[in-house]
């Protein structure tokens, strides 16, 4: 039986995510899959993604994975990575595309007029490279990761959650933005843990050991 599945909808470097999980949990069976049935049977689900959100949503729906992803986010440990975080929200400014609406809020583009560092130098978009993460609140996935640890980012858009309590981590790039969100059995990050050396590997190790205390089915925002 597969212990962890990495959802494959054709967007992102899935092999590097799977290899990082295998590295921290060599006894677990990790599979990359686009099979809704395998996603449904897996005890843990990782939902990564890279590229433009409209393309990601189209590819996910084209492979018939929407309901499998929504169902996985209801009752099992679920980790979203990069676009996998953004797709959980209601809508995105990137193509004005609707997301899965599992979390309230909107995905916004970094505002050009505020892209300046503390010395007044212009910041480039996309935000690409290492940046510090502020752990806004305790969470099992932060266990053993020092406050202010640096993680690797590649993105032009960021989450603006509609409920402040969702924010588990923040970073600053011209503006302060949510880079990690959490609710019940769902944890999602804007950065790439598989590219983030020891801190990222520790987060993945924490995920495969995580046993969420509460597993209620999160309703979509529209149904709430």
Residue numbers annotated as active site: 82, 192, 194
> Do the beta carbons of residue 125 and residue 115 sit within 8 Å?
yes
Instruction: Please give the Cα distance from 224 to 207 (Å, whole number).
Output: 27
Q: What is the DSSP string of 104-122?
A: SEEEEEPPGGG-B-TTSPB
To which H or E segment does residue 140 belong? Answer: none
CB-side exposure of 62: number of CA atoms within 13 Å? 10
d(CA 32, CA 38): 10
Angle at 115 between CA 113 and CA 120, to 5 degrees: 100
d(CA 58, CA 79): 20
Q: Kindly report each contact of residues 22-30 with a partner whose C-beta sits within 8 Å and lies 24 or more positions away, as own/partner.
A: 23/201, 24/201, 24/202, 24/204, 24/205, 24/208, 25/204, 25/205, 25/208, 28/3, 28/4, 28/208, 29/1, 29/2, 29/3, 29/4, 30/2, 30/3, 30/4, 30/5, 30/6
């Amino acid at each position: 039986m597969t212990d962890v599945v990495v959802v494959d909808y054709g967007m992102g470097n899935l092999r590097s995510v799977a290899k990082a999980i295998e590295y921290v949990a060599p006894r677990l069976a990790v599979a990359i899959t686009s099979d809704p049935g395998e996603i449904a049977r897996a005890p843990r689900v990782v939902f990564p993604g890279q590229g433009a959100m409209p393309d990601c949503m189209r590819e996910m729906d084209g492979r018939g994975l929407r309901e499998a992803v929504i169902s996985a986010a209801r009752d099992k440990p679920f980790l979203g990575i990069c676009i996998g975080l953004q797709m959980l929200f209601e809508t995105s400014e990137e193509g004005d595309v609707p997301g899965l609406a599992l979390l309230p809020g909107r995905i916004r583009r970094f505002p050009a007029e505020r892209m300046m560092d503390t010395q007044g130098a212009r910041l480039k978009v996309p935000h690409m490279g290492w940046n510090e993460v502020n752990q806004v609140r305790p969470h099992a996935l932060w266990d053993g990761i020092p406050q202010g640890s640096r993680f690797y980012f590649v993105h032009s858009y960021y989450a603006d959650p509609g409920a402040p309590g969702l924010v588990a981590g923040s970073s600053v790039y011209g503006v302060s933005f949510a880079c990690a969100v959490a609710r019940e059995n769902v944890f999602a990050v804007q950065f790439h843990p598989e590219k983030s050396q020891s801190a990222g590997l520790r987060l993945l190790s924490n995920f495969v050991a995580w046993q969420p205390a509460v597993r209620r089915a999160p309703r979509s925002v529209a149904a709430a």
